[in-house]
Amino acid sequence: MNLNPIHRRRLTLILIIIIAVAVATALALYALQQNINLFYSPSQVAAGQVPVNHAFRLGGIVQAGSVKHAPDSLQVVFTVTDNKKSVLVNYTGILPDLFREGQAVVVEGKLTTQGTLQADQVLAKHDEKYMPAAVKAMLKPAVK
């Protein structure tokens, strides 16, 4: 098949654009794969579904009686549970104001070879019943 020069240039340009888009897509997907933080429960961590030394998020409840603060540093050790399995968490830093035993948390970090989560960030979650005071006051029916 013999193409005239105009058609040949158009076809070459289209092929270059398709290759460039494919390369850009592959690079974007590779970058996203390296930065993704998957969410796991303590049961999944205990079952070995989490790779060691790979960033992930752990969600659960801070187990009652498990929070231990180091007296001379900001290091905190606590246990996150889903009422089936538990994971020990090491964290160095300032904990959020809503952090307490029996409260839901999301912890970001990496699993060590000992099965402990070395946390980089701790996010305390409020319960579903939480409502800011201003909104609660607006929703109260007017009482005469």
Q: What is the mean pLDDT of residues 64-71?
A: 90
In the prediction, which pLDDT does 91 show?
Answer: 93
The band of 57, judged by pLDDT with boundaries at 50, 70 and 90, is: confident
Residue 44 has pLDDT above 60, yes or no: yes
In the prediction, which pLDDT does 37 show?
Answer: 61
Residue 5: exposure state from Cβ atoms within 10 A (0-12, 13-18, ≥19) = exposed
| Residue 23 belongs to domain spanning | 1-36
Are 24 and 51 contained in the same domain?
A: no
Are 23 and 47 contained in the same domain?
A: no
Side-chain half-sphere CA neighbours of 1 within 13 A: 3
For the stretch 74-97, pLDDT in tens is 899 999 988 888 899 999 988 888
pTM, to two decimals: 0.64
- Number of domains making up the chain: 2
